[in-house]
């Protein structure tokens, strides 16, 4: 029997089912290996291309919006301006 190594983790009924028809288990293993390979490939492409375009630092222009002395409040004014609701 080719699937006896699975005896410690499978019930007797499950082991008989796998021995009778192993295609669901083989399909599951192949899909798992394929998805893992795809994820590694995507990560590798991301890793290699992120070095080609280093992150740039944003310059702070002093805020540019209406602020209270405490620095809180009026934060929504800039958001309205970004969305085009306020022209100015």
- The ranges assigned to domains in the chain are 22-55
pLDDT in tens, 11-38: 999 999 999 999 999 999 999 999 999 9
* Structure tokens, 87: 């022209």
pLDDT in tens, 40-84: 999 999 988 887 666 677 666 655 555 555 555 555 565 555 555
- pTM exceeds cut of 0.75: no
- Three-state secondary structure of the chain: CCCHHHCCCCCHHHHHHHHHCCHHHHHHHHHHHHHHHHHHHHHHHHHHHHCCCCCCCCCCCCCCCCCCCCCCCCHHHHHHHHHCCCCC
* Structure tokens, 66: 């209406």
């Amino acid at each position: 029997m080719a699937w006896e190594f699975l005896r410690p983790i499978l019930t007797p009924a499950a082991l008989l089912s796998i021995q009778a028809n192993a295609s669901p288990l083989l399909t599951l293993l192949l899909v798992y290996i394929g998805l893992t390979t795809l994820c590694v490939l995507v990560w590798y492409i991301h890793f290699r291309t992120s070095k080609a375009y280093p992150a740039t630092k944003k310059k702070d222009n002093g805020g540019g919006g209406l602020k209270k002395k405490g620095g809180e409040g009026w934060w929504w004014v800039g958001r309205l301006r970004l969305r085009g609701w306020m022209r100015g």
